[in-house]
Structure 1
Amino acid sequence: MKYNRQLFKKLFFLVLILNSLLFFAQDKPYWKEIQEFKKLDETNGIPKKPILFVGSSSFTYWKDVNDYFPEKTIVNRGFGGSRLLDLNNYSEELLTPYNPKQIVIYCGENDIATDNPTAAEVFERFKTFFGKIRQKYPRVPVAYVSIKYSPSREKFWPEVTEVNALIKSYLKTQKKAKYIDITKVMNDANGKLRTDIFLDDMLHMKPEGYKLWSQVMKPHLK
Structure 2
Amino acid sequence: MRAGGLRVCIHRWTSDELEESRMRPLWNSSLYVVAGFLVVGAPALVSGQVADPDATRFENAMATFARYDAKNSFPADATVFVGSSSIVGWDTGDRFPGMPLINRGFGGSQMSDLVHYVEETVLRYTPRTVVVYEGDNDTSAGKRSQQLLEDYQEFVEAVLTAQPSTRVVILSIKPSLARWNVWPEMQASNAAIEAYSQTDARVDFVDVGTAMLGVDGLPRPELFVGDGLHMTPAGYDVWDEIVMEALMPGGMHARHMAGQGVGH
Class of the TM-score when normalised by the shorter of the 2 chains:
0.7 to 0.9
- 1:118 is aligned to 144
Tell me what 2:74 maps to: 46
Structure 2 counterpart SS, 1:144? strand
How far is the alpha carbon of 1:27 from its aligned partner? 8.4
- Which residue does the alignment assign to 1:106? 133
Does residue 152 of the first structure (1) align with residue 178 of the second (2)? yes
Give the letter aligned to residue 127 of structure 2: P
> Deviation of residue 185 (structure 1)?
1.7
Aligned-partner Cα distance in 1 for 2:232–2:71: 29
Q: Which amino acid aligns with 2:243?
A: M
Alignment partners' CA distance in 2, 1:49 and 1:27: 28
Does structure 1 residue 203 correspond to structure 2 residue 234? no
1:51 aligned partner, one-letter code: T
Give the unaligned 5+ runs of structure 1.
1-25
Check 1:219–1:125 CA distance in 2 against 1; reply closer, same or farther (3 A cut): same
1:30–1:80 contact (8 Å) kept in structure 2: no
Higher relative CO (Cα under 8 Å, sequence separation at least 6) belongs to 1
TM-score, with length taken from structure 1? 0.83
Matched residue SS, 1:188? coil
2-structure distance, mates of 1:113, 1:221: 29
Instruction: Give distance in 2, aligned partners of 1:95 and 1:205.
Output: 24
Aligned ranges 1:5-84 → 2 under 5 Å:
28-62=56-90, 64-84=91-111
Point out the structure with the larger helix share.
1
TM-score by length of 2: 0.71
Give the CA RMSD over aligned residues. Answer: 1.6
Deviations 1:71-101 (A, max 9, x none): 2111010102100010011112122221111
In the alignment, the residues of structure 2 paired with residue 33 and residue 99 of structure 1 have an alpha-carbon distance, to the nearest angstrom, of: 20
Cα 1:118–1:190 change in 2 (3 A) is: closer
CA distance in 2, matches of 1:135, 1:110: 26
Aligned length: 195
CA distance in 2, matches of 1:47, 1:134: 20
CA distance in 2, matches of 1:143, 1:88: 16
Q: Percentage identity across aligned positions?
A: 33
Secondary structure of the residue that 1:75 maps to in structure 2? strand
Q: 2:210 aligns with which of 159, 181, 184?
A: 184
Question: In structure 2, what residue type is equivalent to 1:69?
Answer: F
Where does the alignment leave 5 or more consecutive residues of structure 2 unmatched? 1-53, 249-264
Q: Secondary structure at the match of 1:77?
A: strand
